[in-house]
Every structure is written in structure tokens, then in C-alpha cells.
Structure 1
Amino acid sequence: MKIAVNDPLACAQARRVIEAGQVLCLPTDTVYGIGADPRNPQAITALLAAKSRTRQMPPPVLVASIDQARELCAEINVAAQTLMEHYWPGALTIILPARPNLGWDLGQTNGTMALRMPDSPDTLALLAEIGPLAVTSANLHGRTPARDVDEAYEQLGESIALYLAGPVCASVTPSTIIDLSSSPRIVRVGAIAPQLLSELLGVAL
């Protein structure tokens, strides 16, 4: 099924898909993503299977706010707080220690969680309504991420229960990923240049 992300019925449709343990496709501010309920291990398995990805590459979690992120983390340290306030919502994914009693199984995370607040009003409204989602880029592993729902469907087809259609992405540049669970380090160079993060934090990356 395909429906516009800003359709009044979109949130209810998305909630049904998530509660059923299925996978949906949604727009973000970078590339299109596929998402599932991070609390449901079977849903995470379905998410990874749709992408032909293994548990060694766990999906990030999209949140609607810093407060939502705080509920998932053992601690948001000073560096993370600084980056969130400066670059969220935006194309920055931050890895932090997960709350020990959270009980989510996203794959082999080593006790951490990768978090991002996308700069997409429709997606933020969805996340605020139905909660955080485990989301990874909408493509088969090793292929170019989708810029719209048609490209996503071409790669993923019926493995996705619901396609939320939004604007075509201007580029396929993913978010920058920084690990702040221990000593700060860049995991993936993306839309935000590492030197900007280094200057803001006052540390070499």
C-alpha cells in the first residue's frame, strides 16, 4: 500500500503496520528509510531481512525530540547534548550507551544505540505520535539508497507493508555518524563535515 505521508490517514495506517510487527517505508531529510518497531525483535528481523542485512549492522533509531532520545539512553553526555542542540533536527546520527533496562534487541549493538532526529516535519509528527522507530535506508544492502517511494518499491517490493510517499530527496548523502559512547570518533562521513563537529566539540576527530 502507498499513501502520502501528510495524508490524514497516514499516521493511523503506520500505527497498524508497526503494531503488527511489519515494516514501512518513510521519507526523511536525507534518503528514504524503512522502519519497524524497535521493541519487537521479530519486526527487527523483518527489517533486516527486507534489506538483506545481518545483525552485525543494527539499524539506528529515529526520534522526535531530544527528550525522546533521553528516554532511551543511559546518559546524554555533554558532547552529545551540544551536538543535539546544534544539529538536531538534522543529518547527524549519534551513538550513545543504551539504557540497560530498555530490553530492545536491534542486533549486535554492544550496549549502544545510534540515534537521530530527522529534519522532516512529517516524519517528526509521525515519530511523536507512534514513538521511536528503528530505521535504515530504503535499499537492498550494497545498492544506492532510494530517493523516493518508487525507487524504494523497485528494490524492496512487497517486503514492505506500507509506503509513505513524500518529497523526492535532493541527494543520496546519508547522515554523518559519530560515536560518543566512549572516546569521540567518526563512524561514517556523511552530510555534516567531521571538521564542523570537531570544532564544535573542541576535540580532534
Structure 2
Amino acid sequence: MDTQIFKPDEVTAAAALLKAGQLVAFPTETVYGLGADATNEHAVKQVYAAKGRPSDNPLIVTVTGPDMVTQYTEPLSATAKQLMQHFWPGSLTLILNLRPGTLSKAVTGGLSTAAFRNPQNQTTLNLIQAAGVPIVGPSANTSGKPSPTLAEHVYHDLKGKIAGIVDDGPAAVGVESTILDLTADVPTILRPGAVTEEDLAAVIGTVRSNHHKVGATEVPKAPGMKYKHYAPNAQVYIVDQVTDWPAALAWAQTLDGPVGAMALDDVLAANSLPANVEAFSLGQNVASASHRLFDGLRHFDLESPVKTILTQGFAATGLGAAYMNRLNKSAGQTHFQK
């Protein structure tokens, strides 16, 4: 299969592929998603095959707004309407109860709920509008690998497996959306993202966080709760404190072969890097670090043959909660120990 690259003004052609049951990757402000007609069970099953994704890992449904959501869900609660009004379009995914028979179990992982998102990317909103249907939108990468923040990342992983990619440049945020479960007794964050717990609480009051990894026989309500995610080929080590970097770099010098170091500019500038260590800048703060995290992991996968990557950790508060959620999964919870 040839994988076509579409410009933002070519979404009508890309939408025609979606309507024909083909797979097309699309841009969002968070990461690139892999699109298929959410109402076409055969097309949705192709998403799992293209990504190598377990079939009990539910898919996010990407929509143009609340009107499209209500075609598939039970009546929206006042809380859901309030969140949509405040955060949509944007980096917030809401898990809602479905009306029976509206979406295939291939979308929901067999659950009676589904996750909906209205992205802040006009190109993709135009794509969905042209297709006339919601589209599923898991990250457009090989399952378990770092999420794609560039069309080039998608092409590397999925060329020949999907019909097209809509290229709208780099993703602005760089980590996937916050997932909030509105079917729980208390609204519960299942995956942190750019919309923080504090942001949500300011709008709707009490919010709970539940980032546990589900058991082998449990069906996850949201992506990222059960299976290995975001992992490059190299082993990632989290360097928790800025004061740990001299020891981490001294250890890196003892290793055979090249080592990657991903950190803020001031950390890299303050430390002398051994000859076998290649630096990748995470910018000036946690916001830029979140934006560049997946790009850095993919850089070392694709352009530098490292077997070890040292990566700066942050406090898991605010946007740092999303960053550390992804980094801990990339590292398999492996931290550098002095």
C-alpha cells in the first residue's frame, strides 16, 4: 500500500479515503492520531492491526463537538456540558456512557462506555466534517513506541500500512490528552495531560486521580492503563534530581557505546558531558520538556544508536504529572540510583 501525504488544504481527498474504510493519520495539538471511521467496524479493526494494538485497549473517538457526541451517548450531564464548554476544543478526553448499539465493541474494547475528544486543530476538524462521521484516534505509531509528534514519525512507523497522513506540522503540546472518566462516582483522571487536575477542579470541583495499571484480566477504560507504552529501543533511566546529574554522567562514561542525555538547557550547560554522551535539549521548563519528550526518544531511536538514555525527571504536579506519567512508562519505572 502506498501511504499518501496530504497537506491541510487536501483534507477532502483524505476524507474520501476514510469514507472508503481506509486509515488516515491526522494532526492534533497533542500528538498525531490514526483515524478510521468510528462507525465502520471493519475499518476500526484495521487500526488495531496496523498498530499491533491489543484488541481490549479501547480507542478514543474524535469528534467536531458536543452535537456529534450526543448521537452516540446517553444524555449529557451538566458536568459534561460544563467541561465541553470550558475545555473543548482542546486536550481533554471525556469517558461517557453510550446508548446501546451505537458504537462497535471494536471501538470500546467491549465496554458500555467510550472516550470522546474534540481536538484543537482546525485541519482535523475539517477532516472529520468532510468525512461526516466521528473517527477513532489512537496515537499513530506502532503500539508501545513513543507517540508521534511529527508526520515523519507516523511515516516511519506506519508507511505501507495506512492509506494516508495529513501533515500539519509539529504537534504543539507533545503529550496526549487528559482522560477524565465521567462514568465514575467522582470524575476521575485516568491519564494526566495538559489539562491538569487543578484546571478541572477549578471548573467542576472535586476531581480524583487514578493512574493505576490494570490487571491482566481487567479491561482498561482508557488507553495507557494496561500495556507497555512510549518505550524507545534504548533503556531509559529517570534522573530524579538536578543534583544527581554529575553522578549519572559519571556512570554513563563507564558504559560501552553512546549514551543519550535528555535534560533542560541549564542542566546540560551546568554539567560536563563525557565524550560518549549525546545531549538532547528539553528546553527551558516542564512545558517545553513535555513538548519535546517523545521527539527526543524518537531521535535516539532513529538517528543515534544509543542503548541507554538518561532523562530528567520533574515533580509530578501540574503539567509535570503528565510528563512523569509518560516518562515513567517509557522507562518502565527505572530510576538512576547513585
Compute the TM-score of the two structures, normalised by the length of structure 2.
0.57
Counterpart pick for 2:188 among 169, 185, 190 = 185
Q: Corresponding residue for 1:83?
A: 83
Point out the structure with max Rg over C-alpha: 2
Compute the TM-score of the two structures, normalised by the length of structure 1.
0.93
Amino acid across the alignment from 2:152? D
Structure 1 SS opposite 2:9: coil
CA–CA distance in structure 1, aligned partners of residues 207 and 59 of structure 2: 27
CA–CA distance in structure 2, aligned partners of residues 68 and 103 of structure 1: 13
In the TM superposition, what is the alpha-carbon distance from 1:198 to its structure 2 partner?
Answer: 2.0
Q: Deviations over 1:53-79 (max 9, x none)?
A: 112111101111111111121121111
Q: Tell which has more relative contact order, 1 or 2 (C-alpha 8 A, sep 6+).
A: 1
Amino acid across the alignment from 1:199? A
CA–CA distance in structure 1, aligned partners of residues 6 and 30 of structure 2: 20
CA–CA distance in structure 2, aligned partners of residues 168 and 138 of structure 1: 14
Q: Within 5 A, what are the aligned runs for 1:40-79?
A: 40-79=40-79
Matched, 1:203 2:206: yes
Matched, 1:15 2:7: no
Over 3 Å counting, the alpha-carbon distance change for 1:17 and 1:117 in structure 2 is same
Matched, 1:194 2:213: no
Amino acid across the alignment from 1:90? G
CA–CA distance in structure 2, aligned partners of residues 186 and 109 of structure 1: 21
Quick check: 1:55–1:107 contact (8 Å CA) kept in 2?
no
In the TM superposition, what is the alpha-carbon distance from 1:93 to its structure 2 partner?
Answer: 0.1
In the TM superposition, what is the alpha-carbon distance from 1:95 to its structure 2 partner?
Answer: 0.2
CA–CA distance in structure 1, aligned partners of residues 167 and 125 of structure 2: 15
Quick check: 1:5–1:26 contact (8 Å CA) kept in 2?
no
Amino acid across the alignment from 2:190? V
Structure 2 SS opposite 1:136: coil
Q: Corresponding residue for 1:133?
A: 135
In the TM superposition, what is the alpha-carbon distance from 1:5 to its structure 2 partner?
Answer: 2.1
CA–CA distance in structure 2, aligned partners of residues 203 and 158 of structure 1: 46
Amino acid across the alignment from 2:53? R
When the two chains are superposed, the root-mean-square deviation of aligned CA atoms in Å is 1.4
In the TM superposition, what is the alpha-carbon distance from 1:171 to its structure 2 partner?
Answer: 4.0
Q: Within 5 A, what are the aligned runs for 1:159-174?
A: 159-174=161-176
Greater than 6 Å deviation, 4+ residue runs: none
In the TM superposition, what is the alpha-carbon distance from 1:14 to its structure 2 partner?
Answer: 2.0
Q: Corresponding residue for 1:95?
A: 95
Over 3 Å counting, the alpha-carbon distance change for 1:14 and 1:42 in structure 2 is same
Q: Corresponding residue for 1:116?
A: 117
CA–CA distance in structure 1, aligned partners of residues 85 and 147 of structure 2: 27
Quick check: 1:30–1:169 contact (8 Å CA) kept in 2?
yes
Counterpart pick for 2:154 among 152, 161, 165 = 152
Structure 1 SS opposite 2:73: coil
**Percent sequence identity over matched residues?**
32
In the TM superposition, what is the alpha-carbon distance from 1:137 to its structure 2 partner?
Answer: 0.7
Q: Corresponding residue for 1:4?
A: 7
Q: Deviations over 1:65-114 (max 9, x none)?
A: 11111112112111111110000000000000012131423142411110
Over 3 Å counting, the alpha-carbon distance change for 1:144 and 1:198 in structure 2 is same
Quick check: 1:75–1:96 contact (8 Å CA) kept in 2?
no
Structure 2 SS opposite 1:158: coil
Amino acid across the alignment from 1:4? K
